[in-house]
Structure 1
Amino acid sequence: MSYRVKRDIKIPLRDEVLLSADHYQPEEQGVYPAIVVRTPYGKTREQQHLQGEYFTEHGYHVINVDVRGRGDSEGEFVPYRNDGVDGYDVIEWVANQTWCDGNVGTLGGSYLGRIQWLTALEQPPSLKAMVPLVTPSDPFVEWPTGLPNPMHICWLYMTRGRVMQNINLVDWQKVYWTLPYVDMDLPTGWYSEQWREEIEHPYFDDYWKHIAYQHRFDEIDVPVLNISGWYDDEQIGTPLNYQGMVEAGKSDQHLLMGPWPHQLNKSTKLGDLDFGEESLINMNDYQRSFFDYYLKGIDQGFTKKEPVEIFVMGENKWRQEKKWPLPNTKWTKFYLHSGGKANSRFGDGVLSTSDPAKSVADYDQYVYDPANPVPFITEMVSHQIGGPDDYSSIERRDDVLVYTSDVLEDDLEVTGPVKANLFVSTDAKDTDFTVKLLDVRKSGFAQRLTDGLVRGRFRNGTDKPELMTPGEVYEVEVDCWNTSHIFKKGHQIRIEIASSAFPKYDRNLNTGDELGKATEMKVANQTVYHSEQYPSSVVLPIIKR
């Protein structure tokens, strides 16, 4: 089906602001469903154009819209603050045009994904289906430190003004070391009111609740195709959204997880790994089969799929499942053991399912110096934070505790959420604990699978800050997100514990001072316990094969 494009059409909002949109429409006369794509990154990007072409050629109107204050749209851009109400107005305006049959779907990734959820909370009657990809979570889910992660300043810089800015002009590594944290905008040559406003709200208060959606799934009732990758740096939100909607009793929920970074489905390779030709799918066709069913009532085989489709790394194959987490999951505790010297990969840390009372020593200790944080391997810009990187060199440090299993005698599948329960103490008023899950190959390559962090003052939640008492033992839970991976025979399972992962997360200065405003640092002496009384463990979702 041939198509034509109308550029820069104006969509009026309730406050009389006009948004600019490009309308891709079939040449063939008739009314069709519409797909709305709203973006702060420019409606004329090649990706938007190719999507517009594809769906229009298959019998859809596609409306690519610059969000408020970006591109050719009027108004002021304040991330997420207006996007729910604006989305309602755009969808209903589109649905009421003579060329639309009244059925509207939404599509887009990252920022474009989250604003679909914010729009769904407004309950536009014509919204019949959503495809949010690589969707950011609520505040403090991805960055549980009370502060936006350092690379967020890169994103704010990139989206300042009306057009995309050249982030390659800035020395981001220098920027991320800035103290106080609130001044991290200044080395970029730019003063960011948005950055500073966010720093003023280090707790989950009403400021953040206004743009939160993950506690409100009961207010949303629309079919959703959730899509992300195991190495998406915002991965945690997508399985949470699928699971949350299902637990809220919502039908027609779907989940697709591939071996991809934030830029989905672009290459079979990620870092040093090649996941094979099967790892790439025809994403347009996959999404169209969803829209065809929910917007047109045409089943191209979509209903023959199970609601969950995952790519199992290590085996490098796709698999369909009925639920997430998988119904046959065996939640297995792997306990920490050592002779008291688990520091670095040259230490004596052991990971096993054995009784923690059998550990030779009751604890391990290390020193965390925020002036010399443990590196998190990543490029310095916000496009992608980390990947399946080799952490064997990082594990040479004595401020990294390393616990490694015996060599596996058989393949072992780990698919699902990964959580650690640690018993810890510190001589600081506030500090962090990080946990990383890795696959150690025979060569010694230690592949990061997934990781997480807990900030001491937020051990009871980001809405319940409470400083730590030096010397007191606390049980803390570390959410290490999700994975689907087969540890091959001859490999080993490894856990790293540290107190920093920089620059993925901001450095805890250990003083307990006001977040984002301090410059003084304190060296913290950390203790991780593993005894009968304090059985620290990581819980792995083992899948019987």
Structure 2
Amino acid sequence: MLKILPKQTASMHTRDGVRLDADIYRPDADGEFPVLLMRQPYGRAIASTVVYAHPTWYAAHGYIVVIQDVRGRGTSEGEFQLFAHEILDGEDTVNWAANLPGSNGKVGMYGFSYQGMTQLCAAVNQPSALLTICPAMIGYDLYTDWAYEGGAFCLQTNLAWAIQLATETARLRGNKTVYQALFAASRNLPLTNPEILQQLAPHSFYHEWLAHSQPDEYWEKLSPKHHLQAVDLPMFHIGGWFDTYLRGTLHLYKDMAARSTKPQHLLVGAWAHLPWGRKVGEIDFGAKAASPVDKMQIRWFDQFLKGENTGLLHESPVCLFEMGTNIWRTFPKFPTPIHKSYFLSTTGLASIREDSGTLTPNPQSPVPNTFDVLVHDPWRPVPALGGHAGIPAGVFERSHLDCRSDVLTYTSEPLGEDLHLAGDVAVEIYCTADQPSYDLSAVLSEVHPDGRVYNLTQGYVHCRDVNASTKIQLQATCARIAKGNALRLSLSAACFPAYAMNSGNGTITSSDSLPEAQIITLTVNCGGQFNSHLLLPVVSEGDERDVGTRGRKDAENN
């Protein structure tokens, strides 16, 4: 570890003359060093230390670390517009950073969330100095990966983020009244009146996101997916099983792994968006669940910016934390096992009794054609609890929710042996509705013998067909369900305020549309020709041997 010089502040000007300010951390040593760049909108002194080591730690490993305020944030000049300037400003910043005194001309980038997005934007025009990036928790397609899920507006996370950015804008403009009102709102989520943003931040991106409820040209212009097709860089992708943007992380990784000629590595921990620790929600996943990211990034940058042989290229590129065994497992690629079906069956009382609805891996043939009726009352919508879209996110005991009469539950027999899952989870639901529009929420949980129920993964979809087969894509996962425990699928027509409620005729976007909300009655088919079922990515014994039990070096030694 090298000694560090006092922090410096330096400025550059973009091609259109806007000054951008940055803090620079340098090793106190002779020679030239690669540059690690982070571009962010939250005040550069924070430097994403909510999840990463402080920049001085990275500098002590032989790097010049640059933390920059993006346009219109912190002390940088210009007007902040969400993602609008990050491609050109990112390219200009990479070129500037590569030519800093003491730089060897090689630049890598790191950061999560917006800081992950600025990496993708900076890579679009392929500046020659940018040799590698480490995007964490990003939206590759902003519509499907960030703003909407299954066509449903991600109300709570979008609203919370919009309020955070609008509050900072008010602070930078010296508008104390607006700042105080928005700050108070941020501490009282979920809001009963989301119109506060219309009143106090009429120019927030939030209003455009609500207005563009379909994947149109608006999203194509903003989304990295539509600009990165010619980019080929080594990337270290980082995600969390309970991160609301895991879809984006996996979307980008799978795309790059399929077409890239450069190494693509993936790490997914048992984390929410932040922090990246051993506990998420109510469950402590043990010491190994704590973040190995900083050490892994140093190895990554040593490999691609210093040319050192770190051994990375000889290791399995995918490293996933398996919840339940609480160890890291490695894979040659993101798992795509053959899905095992668990079929829904019922006595028709799955909304009333826990023993009515069952999950059966091998149903008897023919299966009787039965159904359950689900009634959604907008006066008392099923509340969100944890998962990846709720605040707080993570794992929580949910037996009190499963007892509600507007939640259908289907539970398997206790498992006769451990069940290992790794990959994408989905549910195929055959149902009819009495309204032209409705939503479906699906939660997969682990049921313990004493009756405790803990969510594992979930998904949500906005439906516009009153008589259809609906596929709900749940968040990908990697977990072991222990012998003696059972699986449970819980279905409802709301998960509020994680997702905006459905009025029966579309999304409720404001308090004005609340009186239009209708009671929605759904009929879910079980058995017969159209048998609703759960699709699980079960890892077979052969696959398990291929996976092995040794995580990547830094994850294992964390």
TM-score, normalised via structure 1 length = 0.90
- Specify the SS of the correspondent of 2:243: coil
Question: Is the contact made by 2:13 and 2:20 (CA closer than 8 Å) also made in structure 1?
Answer: yes
Q: Give the 5 Å matches for 1:517-532.
A: 518-519=513-514, 520-532=516-528
Q: Does 1:275 align with 2:280?
A: no
Stretch deviating more after TM superposition (301-310 or 63-72): 301-310
Counterpart selection for 1:505 from 499, 503, 515: 499
Give me the whole-angstrom Cα distance separating, in 1, the residues matched to 2:396 and 2:84.
35
Counterpart selection for 2:145 from 138, 141, 154: 141
Q: Give the 5 Å matches for 1:279-318.
A: 279-318=289-328
Partner of 1:372: 380
Taking structure 1 as reference, are residues 62 and 86 closer, same or farther at Cα in structure 2, changes over 3 Å only? Answer: same
For structure 1, the residue ranges without an aligned partner over 5 or more in a row are 458-467
Q: Give the 5 Å matches for 1:401-420.
A: 401-420=408-427
- Specify the SS of the correspondent of 2:505: coil
Taking structure 1 as reference, are residues 383 and 86 closer, same or farther at Cα in structure 2, changes over 3 Å only? Answer: farther
Taking structure 1 as reference, are residues 365 and 75 closer, same or farther at Cα in structure 2, changes over 3 Å only? Answer: same
TM-aligned CA deviation for residue 281 of structure 1 = 4.3
What code does the residue aligned with 2:540 have?
A: K
TM-aligned CA deviation for residue 219 of structure 1 = 2.1
Question: Is the contact made by 2:339 and 2:537 (CA closer than 8 Å) also made in structure 1?
Answer: yes
Taking structure 1 as reference, are residues 405 and 252 closer, same or farther at Cα in structure 2, changes over 3 Å only? Answer: same
Partner of 1:151: 157
Q: Does 1:177 align with 2:192?
A: yes
Q: Give the 5 Å matches for 1:34-183.
A: 34-45=35-46, 47=48, 50-137=53-140, 138-142=142-146, 143-144=148-149, 145=151, 147-160=153-166, 161-162=168-169, 169-170=184-185, 176-178=191-193, 183=195
Stretch deviating more after TM superposition (434-443 or 112-121): 112-121
- Specify the SS of the correspondent of 1:210: helix
Give me the whole-angstrom Cα distance separating, in 2, the residues matched to 1:392 and 1:289.
43
What code does the residue aligned with 2:90 have?
A: G
TM-aligned CA deviation for residue 100 of structure 1 = 1.6
- Specify the SS of the correspondent of 2:335: coil
Give me the whole-angstrom Cα distance separating, in 2, the residues matched to 1:357 and 1:515.
45
Taking structure 1 as reference, are residues 42 and 351 closer, same or farther at Cα in structure 2, changes over 3 Å only? Answer: same
What code does the residue aligned with 2:224 have?
A: Y
TM-aligned CA deviation for residue 338 of structure 1 = 0.8
What code does the residue aligned with 2:158 have?
A: H
Counterpart selection for 1:422 from 429, 442, 457: 429
Give me the whole-angstrom Cα distance separating, in 2, the residues matched to 1:446 and 1:175.
24
TM-aligned CA deviation for residue 216 of structure 1 = 5.3
Question: Is the contact made by 2:443 and 2:457 (CA closer than 8 Å) also made in structure 1?
Answer: yes
Stretch deviating more after TM superposition (163-172 or 6-15): 163-172
Question: Is the contact made by 2:25 and 2:56 (CA closer than 8 Å) also made in structure 1?
Answer: yes
Q: Give the 5 Å matches for 1:335-414.
A: 335-344=343-352, 346-355=354-363, 358-378=366-386, 384-414=391-421
Q: Give the 5 Å matches for 1:470-485.
A: 470=466, 473-485=467-479
Offset from partner CA, 1:429-481 (integer Å, 9 cap, x none): 11111111111111211111111111113xxxxxxxxxx3x4xx211111101
What code does the residue aligned with 2:325 have?
A: E
TM-aligned CA deviation for residue 50 of structure 1 = 4.7
Give me the whole-angstrom Cα distance separating, in 2, the residues matched to 1:171 and 1:26.
39
TM-aligned CA deviation for residue 171 of structure 1 = 6.8
- Specify the SS of the correspondent of 1:151: helix
Question: Is the contact made by 1:13 and 1:89 (CA closer than 8 Å) also made in structure 2?
Answer: yes
Question: Is the contact made by 2:369 and 2:528 (CA closer than 8 Å) also made in structure 1?
Answer: no
- Specify the SS of the correspondent of 2:344: strand
- Specify the SS of the correspondent of 1:364: strand
- Specify the SS of the correspondent of 1:522: coil
Give me the whole-angstrom Cα distance separating, in 2, the residues matched to 1:230 and 1:125.
34
- Specify the SS of the correspondent of 2:26: strand
TM-aligned CA deviation for residue 368 of structure 1 = 1.1
Offset from partner CA, 1:298-351 (integer Å, 9 cap, x none): 12232232100111110111111101025xx23111111112221155351011
What code does the residue aligned with 2:160 have?
A: C
Question: Is the contact made by 1:175 and 1:184 (CA closer than 8 Å) also made in structure 2?
Answer: no
Question: Is the contact made by 1:24 and 1:63 (CA closer than 8 Å) also made in structure 2?
Answer: yes
TM-aligned CA deviation for residue 45 of structure 1 = 1.4
TM-aligned CA deviation for residue 535 of structure 1 = 2.0
For structure 2, the residue ranges without an aligned partner over 5 or more in a row are 173-178, 542-558
Taking structure 1 as reference, are residues 441 and 4 closer, same or farther at Cα in structure 2, changes over 3 Å only? Answer: same
Taking structure 1 as reference, are residues 369 and 273 closer, same or farther at Cα in structure 2, changes over 3 Å only? Answer: same
Partner of 1:465: none
Offset from partner CA, 1:476-515 (integer Å, 9 cap, x none): 1111011111010110011111111111111111124786
Give me the whole-angstrom Cα distance separating, in 2, the residues matched to 1:30 and 1:356.
73
Give me the whole-angstrom Cα distance separating, in 2, the residues matched to 1:344 and 1:85.
57
Structure having the higher helix fraction is: 2
Offset from partner CA, 1:35-80 (integer Å, 9 cap, x none): 1001111111165595321121111111000111110011111121
What code does the residue aligned with 1:156 have?
A: A
Give me the whole-angstrom Cα distance separating, in 2, the residues matched to 1:416 and 1:63.
36
Counterpart selection for 1:541 from 529, 534, 537: 537
Taking structure 1 as reference, are residues 358 and 337 closer, same or farther at Cα in structure 2, changes over 3 Å only? Answer: farther
Give me the whole-angstrom Cα distance separating, in 2, the residues matched to 1:148 and 1:101.
43
Question: Is the contact made by 1:154 and 1:382 (CA closer than 8 Å) also made in structure 2?
Answer: no
TM-aligned CA deviation for residue 83 of structure 1 = 1.4
Partner of 2:552: none
TM-aligned CA deviation for residue 428 of structure 1 = 0.7
Question: Is the contact made by 1:427 and 1:525 (CA closer than 8 Å) also made in structure 2?
Answer: yes
Taking structure 1 as reference, are residues 256 and 512 closer, same or farther at Cα in structure 2, changes over 3 Å only? Answer: closer
Stretch deviating more after TM superposition (152-161 or 354-363): 354-363
TM-aligned CA deviation for residue 353 of structure 1 = 1.7
Offset from partner CA, 1:65-122 (integer Å, 9 cap, x none): 0111110011111121211221111111111334221211000011111221222222
Taking structure 1 as reference, are residues 447 and 408 closer, same or farther at Cα in structure 2, changes over 3 Å only? Answer: same
- Specify the SS of the correspondent of 2:399: coil
What code does the residue aligned with 1:325 have?
A: P
TM-aligned CA deviation for residue 215 of structure 1 = 5.2
Counterpart selection for 1:219 from 204, 208, 230: 230
- Specify the SS of the correspondent of 1:237: helix
Question: Is the contact made by 2:185 and 2:191 (CA closer than 8 Å) also made in structure 1?
Answer: no
Give me the whole-angstrom Cα distance separating, in 2, the residues matched to 1:356 and 1:107.
53
TM-aligned CA deviation for residue 358 of structure 1 = 4.5
- Specify the SS of the correspondent of 1:35: strand
RMSD: 2.5
Question: Is the contact made by 1:229 and 1:259 (CA closer than 8 Å) also made in structure 2?
Answer: yes
Percentage identity across paired residues of the two chains: 28
- Specify the SS of the correspondent of 1:310: strand
Give me the whole-angstrom Cα distance separating, in 1, the residues matched to 2:116 and 2:390.
16
Taking structure 1 as reference, are residues 246 and 513 closer, same or farther at Cα in structure 2, changes over 3 Å only? Answer: closer
Stretch deviating more after TM superposition (235-244 or 475-484): 235-244
Give me the whole-angstrom Cα distance separating, in 1, the residues matched to 2:225 and 2:426.
20
What code does the residue aligned with 1:367 have?
A: V
- Specify the SS of the correspondent of 1:493: strand
Question: Is the contact made by 1:11 and 1:93 (CA closer than 8 Å) also made in structure 2?
Answer: yes
